[in-house]
Chains A and B, each alone.
Chain A
């Protein structure tokens, strides 16, 4: 029998030892697994306890705060409970609908009933309810109805900086402005991975100053009402760092109510719109002329009669009918003079200079909204003539200010930014585009224009303002209109050591009795610019200085020494 089972010559003792060994091995493995698990349990803390508390905010959509340059809150997250339902756990749909609508009368009954009787496992019933409603619904004790606390984005200074900050959708995803930029620079991935729960994310500091932003907006709203303009826009940038201190475009919208942003009249005219900047552009032409070395401040150009070019005639708005020196061309804002200046240097030089100044390519900043400049496809001499005084080339105003900033700050083209940046960081990005002497001469011209030129109404005692006006006729049905104009004013303060550049734009201002029937820049944009400067200069910490010498002594002196 045994031989039948085990074969004939088996060493049973050896076999028993082998079995014993196997059993020992199995038990050893079993116990070591148990021991290993025990060590794991001891080493890793109770994870289920931690998880329990964070289950309440399963929707991980925290966003970092957005602060202005002084640390004031522009956008922050607030927790708000949201109401959801799990239809498969609801016992009586009718009762649930009745009770819920009793607490929240604004709920749509039909939609609520449809959602609760659907076969889905999870439905949102209402996003962002109040704590009182939450308590009331909790007291109803309905099964299958629950709350989840979600992050709600709030903008305490709703309209103050809406065009800069942008806004978010109901799922706390940025869809415009800096909010969208945040998402594109990594936050969206964090959201997808469900890691953005922590509200201790590092806040984003912007270059915008909330107080300046408000002062600017206040003045622009007043100006828009006074001159019955279609729109008004204002910009303050720091030419040394490229920081945008303030950017306002009215009509604007309340960031807490993003639906308003859909209205096309509320676009941000400073980055999203392109305009023919008019005489403001003459500053760039003058800068080009002075930087070329072929034209100096003592040269003069013939402006005795209108400039004939083919079948087009170029007139001056303030015709002097005489030979004008270069500074006079600037202060009388002579179209003829600037056009002749550009012609002397040639089309290619003009084009190359404007490209170098970044006026021909799309300007990209943190803001996702940007517009491509409208550059003539064939650029002939006529284009150079008109572009010299700011017609025929449409650029975004922010772009034009970047170019002007380079003419003011000593010759460095610095891309503008909406985030805080130091001068050193800016210099790392900067490219030299004009000579420092050119910059000094340009500042002299800007100051001269306020002392005795078209921008005299912008003089704010103590701040040594320099400025250039611009009145661009708008194209209506393919022709330049005489009545619909875009007036602008560009200021630099103080002109001897530029700290800030201010731009004011009024779209289609109407003449009023006080302006004696004129709608040109000197009568509307310039006084607004003066009012804005008087209001923001103390906020920006500029020290007023009085009894300063005239511009030719203060600014030009150093240029002459170097000659």
Chain B
């Protein structure tokens, strides 16, 4: 009887020891994982701080003003350009029917068609102005996408191109 009891107690002891060992091992593992995650969080924090610093350097008004002067034809706002809400005219009746073909909307939906090389532009330039809004969708896709590209480029970077050309 006594012997059986002893055996039971020893078995329970071994089981308890094994369980404690397992818990201990697991806790060490978790603690290590925690430490790793902490390091990772710290590294991420540092990276975020570096990126935020970089972003605000790129976003600094002095730099933006420089870029805007070089590439855009924008001018400072005049006080007369502001208006109040109560002088806003009534919304006019829709000039464009709601289901009309929308060239800019298509550019947003499918940005890849904007990257069509603008080789065919000069030939079509005259026609793009008079392209009606509603035609078969395949033709105006190309023309409208191209029309928007050269307009921007000719307005913003004519000087460097023409000067370098004339030097040669």
Q: Which of A72, A534, A543 contacts B56 (CB 8 A)?
A: A72
Count of A-B residue pairs with CB < 8 Å: 85
A46 at the interface (CB under 8 A from B): yes
A101 to B76, CA, bound (A): 52
CA distance A199 to B42 in the complex (A): 9
* A78 pairs with B53, CB closer than 8 A: yes
- A73's partner among B52, B62, B80 (CB-CB below 8 A) is B52
**Contacts A49-B32, A544-B82; is A535 near B76 (CB within 8 Å)?**
yes
Known A-B contacts A199-B49, A462-B80; the reply to A214 vs B65 at CB < 8 A is yes
Tell whether, in the assembled complex, residue A544 and residue B79 are in contact, meaning their CB atoms are under 8 Å apart.
yes
B84 to chain A, nearest CB (A): 7
B77 contacts across to A, CB distance below 8 A: 538
Q: Which residue of A lies closest to B60 (CB)?
A: A157
Check B31 for interface membership: any CB of A closer than 8 A: yes
User: Which B residues between 138 and 167 are near A, CB-CB below 8 angstroms?
Assistant: none
A214 touches B38 (CB 8 A): no
Bound CA–CA A468/B52 (angstroms)? 42
Contact (A460, B79) CB under 8 Å given A73-B56, A160-B60: yes
A52 touches B35 (CB 8 A): yes
Q: A residues within 8 A CB of B111?
A: none
Is there contact, CB below 8 Å, between B65 and A77? no
B32 contacts A214, C-beta separation under 8 Å: no
Does A461 count as interface, using CB distance less than 8 angstroms? yes
Determine if B79 and A534 form an interchain contact, defined as CB atoms under 8 angstroms apart: yes
Task: Give per-residue flags for B33-68: 1 if the beta carbon is below 8 A from chain A beta carbons, else 0.
Answer: 011001100100110011011101101111001000
Interface residues on chain B, size class? 20 to 34
Given A46-B28, A53-B38, decide whether A543 and B84 contact each other with a Cβ distance below 8 A: yes
Contact partner of B31 among A49, A199, A200, A546, CB < 8 A?
A: A49
**B45–A199 CB distance below 8 A:** yes
| Least distance between A34 CB and chain B CB atoms (Å) | 15
A30-76 with Cβ < 8 A to chain B: 45-46, 49-50, 52-53, 72-73, 76
Inter-chain CA distance A538–B76, complex, in Å, is 10
Report yes or no: B31 in contact with A45, Cβ–Cβ below 8 A: yes
A71-114: contact bitstring with B at CB < 8 Å (1 yes, 0 no)? 01100111100000000000000000000000000000000000
Residue in B closest to A533 when the chains form the complex, CB atoms: B79
Main secondary structure of the interface of A (DSSP, over half): mixed
Contact between chains at B35 and A79 (CB < 8 Å)? no
Does A210 have its Cβ within 8 Å of any Cβ on chain B? yes
Chain B residues positioned under 8 Å from A543 (CB to CB): 82, 84
Within 8 A of B (CB), among A369-408: none
Within 8 A of B (CB), among A514-553: 534-535, 537-538, 543-544, 546
Within 8 Å by CB of A156, from B60, B65, B78, B84, lies B60
Docked Cα-Cα span, A386 to B22, in Å, equals 90
A463 at the interface (CB under 8 A from B): yes
* Contact (Cβ within 8 A) B50 A78: yes
Partner of A537 from the list B27, B39, B60, B79 (CB cut-off 8 Å) is B79
A154 interfacial contact with B, CB 8 Å: yes
18 new A-B contacts, CB < 8 A, other than A53-B35, A79-B49, are A53-B39, A73-B52, A76-B49, A77-B49, A78-B50, A154-B53, A157-B56, A160-B61, A199-B49, A210-B61, A211-B61, A461-B80, A534-B76, A534-B78, A534-B79, A535-B76, A543-B84, A544-B80
List residues of A whose CB falls within 8 A of some B CB. Answer: 45-46, 49-50, 52-53, 72-73, 76-79, 149, 154, 156-157, 159-160, 199-200, 210-211, 214-215, 218, 460-463, 534-535, 537-538, 543-544, 546
Which 9 residue pairs of A and B lie closest in terms of their CB atoms, listed nearest first?
A462-B79, A214-B61, A544-B79, A156-B57, A156-B56, A73-B56, A79-B46, A157-B60, A49-B35
21 pairs of residues in contact across A and B, judged by CB atoms under 8 Å: A49-B32, A50-B35, A50-B38, A72-B56, A73-B52, A73-B56, A76-B52, A76-B53, A77-B49, A78-B46, A79-B46, A156-B59, A157-B60, A200-B45, A214-B61, A214-B62, A218-B62, A534-B76, A538-B82, A543-B82, A544-B80
